[in-house]
Each structure stands twice: as structure tokens, then as C-alpha cells.
Copies of this chain bind each other. A is one copy, B any other.
Amino acid sequence: MEARVEKIKQLLQSQGFKLTPQREATVRVLLENEEDHLSAEDVFMLVKEKFPEIGLATVYRTLELLTEMHVVEKLNFGDGVARYDLRTESNKHHHHHLICVRCGSMTEIMDDWLLPLEERLEKEYRFRVLDHRLDFQGVCASCREKEEAEGKEPSGAGAETGVTYNV
């Protein structure tokens, strides 16, 4: 943990930025909540617990800086707020989401299933992939069990099931 803070500190300093107490508090919140996808507001609230004087704008500016430094990744799940993820060895480029349209739960899968696709993009489109985002919307295992227990049809058609009316 300390080593990771130190690494970020050095990275910032190498570019002429400072790891101020506010920024360090922000980074620590991100490290302590690595499993979550925190919004700027979430980060702000958590930082405030340790550092009550901090301003929301500072958090936004810090997250922007960390995004530029590729320390965090700015995510967008379409719910109107940006979310931020630390980029670590384990999630670099291997970050896919299973989003359940029933219960809203989100599962992450880390396998890098896309490498073969990226090779194809390189060959067929001459497109050099730097990053990707892959989200699946669907129904998670536990919601499926629930629905099957209730005797519903296995997958379901209806208002919010993703049925497409082809136009």
C-alpha cells in the first residue's frame, strides 16, 4: 500500500506535479476501495471523512490528473456519473463488466478474452488498440434462478428485457 502510494508520488513528481495531502488522501481512498467503481461524489465523501476541509473541485481535479497520468481509468456506465477505477497490473486491459438489467448488480471478469480480437483489428483495420471497454447487459445467475423459481419463462420478453424490435 505504502509502496503503491510512493509509486504514484514518483510518477507525479516525474511530471512536475506534487502529491499534496489532498491528493494523497484521494489516492488512498481509491486504494482502499479498489473493488468499487467510485464516482467523484463518492470519492469526495470518503476523502472528507479523513480530510474534512477538502473541496469537491479538488477531487475532480485530482481525478482528472490521475486519469491523464493513466493511474485511474474513467468509466461510464450510462448512469449519469463518471466512475473511476485504479489501473493495476491485474485489471489493465482486462476489465469487462456483466451488468444485470434486473437487479443492477455488476460483476467483473478479468480474463482477457479480447486479445485475439485486438489482433484481428490490427490486421484487418490497421487500428492500434490502446484500450477497450466491454460491457454486457443481461440477467445474472441469481436473478435467473429467482425468475425460474417463480415459474416465469426462462429468459423473458417484455418491457425491460432487452427485446429488440427491429425497425
Contacts and interface: CB of A to CB of B under 8 A. Distances in A.
Interface of A: 4, 7-8, 11, 31, 68-71, 74, 76, 78, 82, 86-89, 92-93, 98, 100-101, 107, 109, 113, 117-118, 120-121, 125-141, 144, 155, 159-167
A135 B93 CA distance: 12
A159 B68 contact: yes
B131 A127 contact: no
A118 B136 contact: yes
- The DSSP consensus for interface residues of chain A is mixed
A106 to B, nearest CB: 11
A139 B76 CA distance: 21
A161 to B, nearest CB: 6
A161 B130 contact: yes
Contacts of A120: 113
